[in-house]
């Protein structure tokens, strides 16, 4: 279970890092709960629209690296809580110079119809 989920998690973050909106959101359940910092809970469709606009403007991710990944699978193996640090550098997001952030990610994943899907995502920006 962990290896397959780990592969999905890595593939999702690789898609995020290359600004491949379609590949990135292919890992999301349409009913996923997304909690944006400072905005609260939003539907997946709002997050998709926001990210399409960012990437469409030429902004986006310059690079991202996952650190300190921890998977906490359910006893039945069809769900997991995932936490990690995403060390990400953005471009064109309204900040002069390098816009590097360390995001503390907290996600819930379900095995749905044989594929791992993200069903909950929440993050905060770490200081320093």
* Measured CA angle at 55 (ends 64, 32), to 5 deg: 75
For residue 36, pLDDT over 90 is answered with no
Q: Where are the domains of the chain?
A: 2-125
The reported pTM is 0.92
Q: How far apart are alpha carbons 97 and 42 in whole angstroms?
A: 29
Strands 99-112 and 40-42: unpaired
Among 18-27, 42-51, 86-95, which is the least confidently predicted range? 86-95
Q: How far apart are alpha carbons 88 and 66 in whole angstroms?
A: 9
Specify the DSSP element, H or E, that contains 66. strand 60-73
Q: How far apart are alpha carbons 80 and 44 in whole angstroms?
A: 19
Structural domain 2-125, CATH architecture: Roll (3.10)
Average of per-residue pLDDT values in the chain: 93
Contact indicator for 128, 105 with CB cutoff of 8 Å: no
At 102 the three-state DSSP class reads strand
């Amino acid at each position: 279970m962990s290896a397959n989920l780990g592969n999905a998690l890595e593939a999702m973050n690789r898609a995020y890092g290359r600004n491949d909106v379609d590949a990135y959101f292919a890992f999301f359940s349409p009913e996923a709960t997304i909690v944006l910092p400072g905005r609260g809970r939003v539907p997946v469709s709002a997050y998709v629209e926001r990210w399409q606009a960012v990437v469409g403007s030429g902004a986006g991710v310059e690079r991202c690296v996952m650190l300190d990944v921890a998977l906490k699978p359910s006893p039945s193996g069809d769900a997991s809580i995932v936490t990690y640090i995403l060390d990400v550098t953005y471009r064109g997001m309204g900040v002069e110079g390098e816009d590097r952030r360390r995001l503390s990610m907290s996600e819930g994943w379900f095995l749905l119809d044989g594929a791992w899907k993200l069903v909950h995502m929440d993050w905060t920006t770490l200081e320093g």
